[in-house]
Amino acid sequence: MTTASTTPAFSPAQDDNTLPYRVAALYRFTAFKNLPEIRDALLHTCTEQGVKGILLLAHEGINGTIAGSDAGIEAVVAYIRTLPGCAAIEVKFSRAPSMPFLRMKVRLKKEIVTMGVADMDPNKTVGTYVAPAEWNALLEDPDTILIDTRNDYEVAVGTFRGATDPRTKTFREFPEWFRKNRDTFTKEGRKPRLAMFCTGGIRCEKATAFVKTEGFDEVYHLQGGILKYLETVPEQDSLWQGECFVFDQRVTVGHGLTPGAMELCHACRAPLSPQDKASPLYEAGVSCPTCHGQWDAKRHARHAEREHQTRLAAARGDTHLGANMEEERARKRQRQEENIRHQNAMREGLE
């Protein structure tokens, strides 16, 4: 893709340092060894610099989002660039009015983004990168099939115009969805041009690697993901519709990576729009239109009490740790439910 752009450089408002915290989203597929040593040194550096967030390490690379002061983030990013293969790591910066993370975690994983496909290495095979400035030209080509590789709740918040939504609950479901639908991409004997995107670029990069192993050659993905597109493409030229879900307490961001209007339901972790909060099914901290009616009386009462304690803590100027623990339990329950669905699918021969 070599389309030239005459659009002047775009300087998003959040980069003027009026918001106190700097957020850095990053990933890199690269071969790592000695993972425990890398983890310990990275955690020490982040803690020393007062940086919080989560970083995932695997033999295939690094992935995560961190936040802190400008000096702290610069120091941590500088250290990450010293890791094997990370000198040219691309980082998406934005700003936040408050610290979007509660603590710093560096975790060792089998994959930095879980697809669950054996013998597939993005370090060896990957699709063609398309810069944000050239992305619109690719999308406006009628022969391009555009695929959103994110999960259903993310797509519901916002996506590119004309994108195909796989309606997956987890990224692990993407390979099976693609295999089931590959005939729709090759109908009438055509060789499709596939373009894929995700939040920061990591999932679509891995998805293109998978699709190429499935025999598709003309495969593209958005370099830097939606975040880089929203950061660099002016809103008046943008093909993006809605907001972009992010995995921290900002919940969503818009053009220029400014914080969006969405919030999280503290009961089920679903993103909430202003319309959702106006629904009669919404009860702050207790339920929302997505999870209304799902909770038994005991859990409903626990949610209500947690919300009450959160409000009391806020009135004192404190953070209610019980609310954070409950959110972590909700995430754990969600992971357990996803594992159960996956196991059931295995038994039924679907995966």
Q: Quickly count: other Cβ atoms within 10 Å of residue 244's Cβ.
A: 24
Query: 46, 198, 204, 268: which is the annotated catalytic residue?
Result: 198
Distance CA 310, CA 195 (A): 44
C-alpha span between 244 and 200 (Å, rounded): 10
Query: DSSP letter at 295?
Result: S
Alpha helices by DSSP H, 32-161: 35-48, 70-80, 132-139, 152-155
CB 236 within 8 A of CB 7: no
Between helix 225-232 and helix 132-139 the angle, nearest 10°, is 100
- The Cα–Cα gap between 245 and 153 comes to 9
Tokens of 201: 């670029």
Q: Could you give the CA distance from residue 233 to residue 235 in angstroms, rounded to a whole number?
A: 6
d(CA 234, CA 256): 8
Alpha helices, H only, the chain: 35-48, 70-80, 132-139, 152-155, 174-185, 202-213, 225-232, 274-277, 297-316, 321-347
Q: What is the rounded end-to-end Cα distance, in angstroms, of the chain?
A: 35
204 is catalytic: no
The residues carrying an active-site annotation are 198
